[in-house]
A = this chain, B = another copy of it.
Amino acid sequence: MKLNHMLSTKDFSRKQIDSILSLAEKFEPVALREKRCNILDGKILSLLFFEPSTRTKMSFETAMLRLGGKVIDMGSIETSSVMKGESLADTVRVVSSYADSIVLRHPKEGAAFMASEFSTVPIINAGDGAGHHPTQTLLDLHTIRRESKLDGLTITLAGDLKYGRTVHSLCYALSHYNARINLASPPELVLPDRIIQDLKNRGIKVTKFDTLENAVKDSDVLYMTRIQRERFPDPAEYNKVSKEMRVTLKLLENCKPDMKVMHPLPRVDEIEPEVDKTPHACYFKQAFYGIPVRMAVLVMAMEEKYGKVL
């Protein structure tokens, strides 16, 4: 039996993405507490988080509970059998005999795929190291779709484009929508060449900019990411870069009046607090969209195995 795992959006067709986002939109009134829904009544979701991720964990929990389902949580790895040397395969085999679906977060790339080989219930990848985090990508797309536009989009990706798993996955997904992609990052943290090449092969226009200011001028969306201090051996260099790569009121003066600023959060110092009050600020809405998107993913994951639930 084939299970509806959600491991990566990389090989998703535009049609597949659109159908998830459409379903997510239907769940928005439930996420906003305007409507009740018990579609997952009787189902149990198990959270296996092998590294901390408060926001992702809480939003999966919220999505599951608001659809009438229940949640069991492995807890932190410090307090789990993992400490006794159990393999991920064994943990997954056992837990999949308890729960109806598993949300897995793991520091090792490929962990979710491996887990899917041993699980008897759908695995939802909630981040596997440098690998994938498909529900983040989907909620980013959903935010763009709901707050800006997906077709004909011009988006600036800014900050750490080298290590940022989030922006990599987003790039590939956006290639279905003929987006124009502007890049703004410190020289140490540019988008890897192989990704740029992939995007160009898919017919996407990718442009590198020297400054954030130049990049955002014609953008519909500015997608900001966190630059980690640890990437810079020299603190002075970090300070310089983090100053240049910052969303300020001044920066917003020269952008489109309806440009939306997104950020996967947590943010540290990348966005001036004053920006929060402008209509550009879209990152808290983006975090909220994690709920309806994860509702859609949970329902799609569990519907093939347990019959049409919608």
Contact = CB atoms under 8 A, between A and B. Distances in A.
Given A36-B42, A44-B65, A284-B94, A54 B72 contact: no
Contacts of A306: 33
Contact of A33 (B59, B76, B100): B100
Instruction: State the number of copies, please.
Output: 3
Contacts of A83: 52
Given A52-B79, A81-B55, A266-B81, A99 B44 contact: no
A160 B275 CA distance: 46
B85 A266 contact: yes
Contacts of A82: 54
B52 A74 contact: no
Nearest to A51: B79
Given A65-B72, A99-B62, A85 B268 contact: yes
A86 B271 CA distance: 12
A20 to B, nearest CB: 20
Cβ-closest 10 pairs across A and B: A86-B266, A52-B79, A97-B288, A54-B80, A62-B98, A54-B81, A94-B287, A61-B72, A76-B79, A81-B266
Interface of A: 33, 36, 42, 44, 46, 49, 52-55, 57-59, 61-62, 65-66, 70, 72, 74-76, 78-86, 90-91, 93-95, 97-100, 226, 265-268, 284, 287-288, 291, 306
